Amino acid sequence: MLPKAELHVHIEGTFEPELIFAIAERNRVEVPYPSVEALRSAYQFSDLQSFLNLYYAGMNVLKTEQDFFDLAMAYFAKASAQGVVHSELFFDPQAHIARGVPFEVVINGLDQAVRQSKQTHGLSSSLIMCFLRDLTAESAMEVFNQSLAHGDKFVAVGLDSAEVGNPPSKFKNVFDKARAEGFVTVAHAGEEGPPEYVWQAIDLLKVSRIDHGVRSLEDSKLVEALKEQAIPLTVCPLSNVKLKVFSSMAEHNIKKMLDLGLNATVNSDDPAYFGGYVEDNFTAVRQALNLSKAEEIQLCRNSINAAFIDASEKAQYLSQLEKSAV
Ligand code: HPA
Ligand code: ZN
C-alpha cells in the first residue's frame, strides 16, 4: 500500500451507521431506521440528490464537540490504515447551524481531532470549510463572516451540495472575500454539472483544485486549460459509480485523465456511504481499469503535490512515497 494524501473527503460522509447509532443513543435522539443493517441497506442512490437526502439526515444526530471529535477520529483511524499520511477534510457548517448546532461546536470538535491525528496516527490534516451551493449567496457570506473568528482552524473554502442549477458564479463575492482574507479556494464542479461550471470555478472563483471535474473531458479546450494551469482534479471513483455519474467502474475516465496529462488524484468523498475508503478506491480502479504500478504511483505523487502543505512537508511525503514504491 502506497502513502498518499486524501484531498476530497466530507467528514459528515465518513459517518458509519454503527457510529450514527452510538452517538444517537448518547444524545438520546431517534434514528428513523430500526437497525444498523436497515440504515446501511438504504444506501442505494440514483443520483447526487438522492444521496444528499440521506447524508443530511445522517448528520442530524451530531450535537456536541465530542461528537464531531469522535467522528473525525474514527475517520483518521480508517484513513491511516489505508495509507493516508495527510488529509484535508471538508465540513459543512451551514448544515449544522440550520439544526441549531453552533459553528464553534463544529469547528472546535473537528480542530481538536486534527491536532490529535498527528499524535495518534502521525497523520497531518487540515480543514476546508464548504458552502452549501443550494443555499443562497447571502447565507454563504453570513457563515464566512462568522467563521473569521476561527480563521486559524481552516486552510481553504470550498463549494459542495446540489450542483446542477447552482453554478460557481453564484458565489463569486464570497470567494473573492475568502481569497482577500488569505484562504485558498476549491470547488466541486463537473460532477453532475457541465464543463461550463468548471470554467467558472477556474475563472471566477480562482480555485487551486477542482473537486471531481470528471465532466471536464467533454471540452478539449478545458482539458488544455487544466493542463496549462496545472490544476489538480480530486476524483472520487466509487462515489461516481454509486451516484451514477458513470454506469460502471470500467467506464470511469480516470485512466484517460492520466493519459491526457491531467493532474488527477484518487479520493473517497463520502466513504461511509459509497462502499470504501481511499485504498478501496485504488483497488476498484486498479481492477476495473488495469492501472499500472507506475500510474498508481503517479496518482499518489499527484495527491501529495496537490496538498495545501508547505514544500518541506511535500518533500518528506514524496520521499516516503519513492521509498515504498521500489
Ligand atoms: N458532491 C456534492 N456535494 C457533496 C458531496 C458530493 O459528492 N458529498 C457531500 N456533499
Ligand atoms: Zn465531494
The ligand minimizing its distance to the Cα of 56 is: 1
Can you give the pLDDT at residue 145?
98
Q: Is the CB of 133 under 6 A from ligand 1?
A: no
Can you give the pLDDT at residue 43?
97
CATH code of the domain in which 298 resides: 3.20.20.140
Q: How confident is the model at residue 9 (pLDDT cuts 50, 70, 90)?
A: very high
Q: Which atom of ligand 1 is nearest to the CA of 130?
A: 10
Domains: count for the chain:
1
Q: What is the pLDDT of residues 230-258, one digit of tens each?
A: 999 999 999 999 999 999 999 999 999 99
pLDDT(102) > 90: yes
Q: Is the CB of 161 under 6 A from ligand 1?
A: yes
* DSSP track, 124-171: EEEEEEEEETTS-HHHHHHHHHHHGGGGGG-SEEEEES--TT--GGGG
Q: 215-224 long-range CB contacts below 8 Å, 24 or more apart?
A: 215/190, 215/191, 216/190, 216/262, 217/253, 217/256, 217/257, 217/260, 218/194, 219/195, 222/195, 222/198, 223/260, 223/262
Half-sphere exposure of 160 (CA within 13 A, CB side): 27
pLDDT(30) > 90: yes
What secondary structure letter does DSSP report for 309? S
Can you give the pLDDT at residue 15?
98
CA–centroid distance, 248 to ligand 2, in Å, is: 19
| 223 φ/ψ angles, rounded to the nearest 5 degrees | -60, -45
Average of per-residue pLDDT across 164-168: 98
For 110-127, letters b (16+ CB in 10 Å) and e give: bbbbbebbeeebebbbbb
Q: What is the pLDDT of residues 270-320, one digit of tens each?
A: 999 999 999 999 999 999 999 999 999 999 999 999 999 999 999 999 999
Residue 50 belongs to domain spanning? 4-308
Establish if 323 belongs to a structural domain.
no
Establish if 139 belongs to a structural domain.
yes
Establish if 116 belongs to a structural domain.
yes
Hey, whose CA ends up nearest to atom 2 of ligand 1? Answer: 161
Active site residue 30: no
Can you give the pLDDT at residue 184?
98
Q: What percent of the chain has pLDDT over 90?
A: 99
Q: Is the CB of 270 under 6 A from ligand 1?
A: yes
Hey, whose CA ends up nearest to atom 5 of ligand 1? Answer: 161
Q: How confident is the model at residue 326 (pLDDT cuts 50, 70, 90)?
A: confident
CA–centroid distance, 267 to ligand 2, in Å, is: 9
Establish if 295 belongs to a structural domain.
yes
What secondary structure letter does DSSP report for 269? B
Pocket test for ligand 1, best of 45, 55, 94 (most atoms within 8 A of CB): 55
Establish if 152 belongs to a structural domain.
yes
Establish if 212 belongs to a structural domain.
yes
Establish if 319 belongs to a structural domain.
no
Q: What is the pLDDT of residues 122-133, one digit of tens each?
A: 999 999 999 999
Mean pLDDT (the chain) is 98
Average of per-residue pLDDT across 184-212: 98
Q: Is the CB of 239 under 6 A from ligand 1?
A: yes
Establish if 44 belongs to a structural domain.
yes
**What's the longest Cα–Cα distance across the chain?**
54
Annotated catalytic residue within 191, 192, 279, 296: 191
Can you give the pLDDT at residue 314?
98
pTM (2 decimals)? 0.98
Hey, whose CA ends up nearest to atom 4 of ligand 1? Answer: 161
Pocket test for ligand 1, best of 14, 161, 236 (most atoms within 8 A of CB): 161
